[in-house]
């Protein structure tokens, strides 16, 4: 990932074929409309950004035809030189988690991505199959810790008997997996860019942070410093619908990506964070 970040800058572009976006692009809410939307987005985004993040749910909603489109998105994005972070948020126990791991992290699967999002809310230990498989195959996982949706606060900020919040305990579990890795570990966390500053202590994380919430959810690049402090080492901001609403015109979408990427790059190039591009695993 380090090479891609240095080459293309720290921006993760989401591919979310939301029904409202299909409407806005003048496309039908059908597998054909999905395919046109997704592949048009990939053609622009995957040539511009280091990481693209397809949201699996919007493809799954179209059944087998939608999954076939998702397979093409993964393939085409890689051919264009981008890494693929598949947003699946899977989390289960035992053999079920093993099956999810085989689907999304096994190199023999058509859906295998460079990294996936996973949910720890059946117990952090339940993620062991995904973490093990990702490490064996040179892939990565991003663990949901403190997400940007308002509904999450009650659960993720709940206090455990040890006095930590649930979200902080997840961060600490990830930090333990990344201990000693240089420059950073290969297990990341998801922390929404809309989260209030000071909620989490990320100082020992030693891993990447996926920071969604830009645009449609209200966060701006200026929120990066407020939330993550002066050291933005390993922070990968993500934007989805705010970028995609600039389509379907490819030139307008491309201009939007470059605008957001430049703004983020300026923020990360401020004093104290110039090593950010060297920090990704």
pLDDT tens readout for residues 119-138: 999 999 999 999 999 999 99
The confidence band for 271, taking pLDDT boundaries of 50, 70 and 90, is: very low
Percent of the chain with pLDDT over 70: 89
Q: Is 89 a catalytic residue?
A: yes
Stretch 89-106: mean pLDDT: 96
- Number of structural domains the chain divides into: 1
Supply the range of the domain harboring residue 21. 2-265
- The contacts of residue 205 (CB under 8 Å, 6+ apart) are 171, 174, 175, 178, 189, 234
Exactly one of 4, 36, 53, 89 is catalytic; name it.
Answer: 89
What pLDDT, on a 0 to 100 scale, did the predictor assign at position 278?
A: 39
pLDDT in tens, 168-227: 999 999 999 999 998 889 999 999 988 888 899 998 999 999 998 766 556 666 677 778
Length, in residues, of the chain: 281
What pLDDT, on a 0 to 100 scale, did the predictor assign at position 215?
A: 60
Measured between its terminal Cα atoms, the distance across the chain in Å is 6
Determine, yes or no, domain membership for 223. Answer: yes
CB-side neighbour CA atoms (13 Å) of 150: 2
Determine, yes or no, domain membership for 226. Answer: yes
The Cα diameter of the chain in Å comes to 53
Q: Is the dihedral of CA 102, 10, 42, 217 positive or negative?
A: positive
What pLDDT, on a 0 to 100 scale, did the predictor assign at position 4?
A: 77
Instruction: Average the pLDDT over each of 1-5, 60-64, 210-214, 275-279 and give the range with the smallest value.
Output: 275-279
Residue 12 sits in a domain of what CATH number?
3.20.20.70
Determine, yes or no, domain membership for 274. Answer: no
The confidence band for 269, taking pLDDT boundaries of 50, 70 and 90, is: low
Q: Which of 23, 81, 20, 90 is nearest to 49 (CA)?
A: 81
Kindly report the average pLDDT of the chain as a whole number.
89
Determine, yes or no, domain membership for 276. Answer: no
Determine, yes or no, domain membership for 273. Answer: no
Determine, yes or no, domain membership for 16. Answer: yes
Determine, yes or no, domain membership for 281. Answer: no
Distance CA 10, CA 183 (A): 16
CB 21 within 8 A of CB 229: no
Distance CA 251, CA 264 (A): 20
Determine, yes or no, domain membership for 258. Answer: yes
Q: Is the pLDDT of residue 234 over 70?
A: yes
Cα three-residue angle 97-100-106, rounded to 5 degrees:
120
């Amino acid at each position: 990932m380090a090479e891609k970040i240095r080459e293309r800058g720290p921006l993760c572009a989401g591919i979310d074929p939301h029904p409202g976006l299909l409407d806005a692009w003048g496309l039908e809410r059908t597998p054909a409309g999905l395919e046109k939307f997704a592949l048009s987005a990939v053609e622009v985004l995957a040539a511009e950004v280091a990481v693209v993040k397809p949201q699996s749910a919007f493809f799954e909603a179209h059944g087998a035809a939608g999954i076939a489109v998702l397979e093409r998105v993964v393939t085409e994005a890689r051919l264009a030189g981008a890494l693929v972070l598949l947003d699946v948020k899977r989390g289960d126990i035992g053999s079920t988690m093993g099956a999810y791991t085989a689907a999304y992290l096994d190199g023999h699967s058509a859906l295998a991505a460079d990294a996936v999002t996973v949910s720890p809310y059946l117990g952090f230990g339940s993620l062991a199959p995904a973490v093990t498989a990702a490490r064996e195959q040179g892939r990565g996982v991003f663990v949901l810790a403190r997400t940007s949706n308002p509904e999450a606060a009650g659960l993720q900020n709940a206090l455990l008997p040890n006095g930590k919040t649930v979200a902080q305990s997840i961060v600490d579990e990830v930090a333990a997996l990344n201990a000693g890795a240089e420059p950073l570990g290969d297990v990341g966390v998801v922390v929404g860019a809309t989260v209030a500053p000071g909620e989490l202590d990320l100082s020992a994380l030693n891993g990447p942070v996926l920071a969604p919430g830009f645009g449609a959810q209200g966060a701006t690049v200026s929120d990066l410093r407020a939330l993550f402090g002066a050291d933005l080492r390993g922070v990968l901001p993500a934007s989805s619908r705010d970028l995609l609403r600039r389509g379907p015109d490819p030139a307008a979408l491309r201009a939007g990506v470059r605008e957001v990427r430049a703004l983020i790059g300026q923020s990360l190039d401020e004093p104290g964070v110039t090593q950010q591009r060297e920090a990704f695993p």
